[in-house]
Amino acid sequence: MSRVAIIAGIKGTTPDPTNADSIPPTSFFDSSWSCEEWMQWTQANINTYGKDVAVQKFVQYASQVSSLSSAHFCPYGSTFYNYYANLGVNFDNIFASTSAATQSVIQTADTTAQTVAQNAGSTISNASNVLSWLIPVALIGGTAYLGYTYLYKPTQKISGIKKRKKYKK
């Protein structure tokens, strides 16, 4: 469906992915193909025109896909990626509108994950150092408190030591 059709409110149909002569939807305003439909279309092109032409057509249209289209994220799926990698497609130049931004996000996420993992290791080490002296101190303190509460206090009451009452004159 074209931009004009959407703006005019005319309902169109999504191009048939099983037809090698269909033109894939690349605009954000077009009805987007799923990743499987892109693979169906490529297979239809292989069957009709051969592998080389199919790969050329895929690269031509995939490089025009809007960064807002759901098809833009297909290379991150293993089935899609492996299918086109087996055909010899290099994804470095395809879906290029956000490849630099995506690369930056992936590198940042990788660096952050490494930093978090390193900090988690040092935090666990610090926690074990603190616990190695905190647990014995807590046990000694708890034992002292329980001993005072249940052993020393009751003996004070039993011993009969009472305060003298003051008499009024």
Q: Look over the chain and give the mean of its residue pLDDT values, rounded to a whole number.
A: 74
Tokens (6 digits) for 89: 């497609």
Do the beta carbons of residue 39 and residue 83 sit within 8 Å? yes
State the pLDDT at residue 156: 59
| CA–CA distance, 130 with 18 (Å, rounded to integer) | 65
Q: Give the pLDDT mean for 144-169.
A: 66
Does the pLDDT of residue 2 top 60, yes or no? Answer: no
Of the two residues 32 and 6, the one the predictor is more confident about is 32
- The pLDDT-based confidence of 8 (bands split at 50, 70, 90) is very low
Render pLDDT for 69-97 as a digit per residue (tens, 0 to 9). Answer: 777 778 777 888 889 889 988 877 666 54
Biggest CA–CA distance in the chain, Å, is: 124
Contacts of 34-38 with C-beta under 8 Å, sequence gap 24+, read 34/70, 34/71, 35/71, 35/74, 35/77, 35/79, 35/80, 38/62, 38/71, 38/74, 38/80
Do the beta carbons of residue 14 and residue 1 sit within 8 Å? yes
Render pLDDT for 94-111 as a digit per residue (tens, 0 to 9). Answer: 665 444 555 555 667 667
53 torsion bin: left (phi>0), alpha (psi -120 to 50), beta (else) = alpha
- The pLDDT-based confidence of 141 (bands split at 50, 70, 90) is confident
State the pLDDT at residue 103: 54
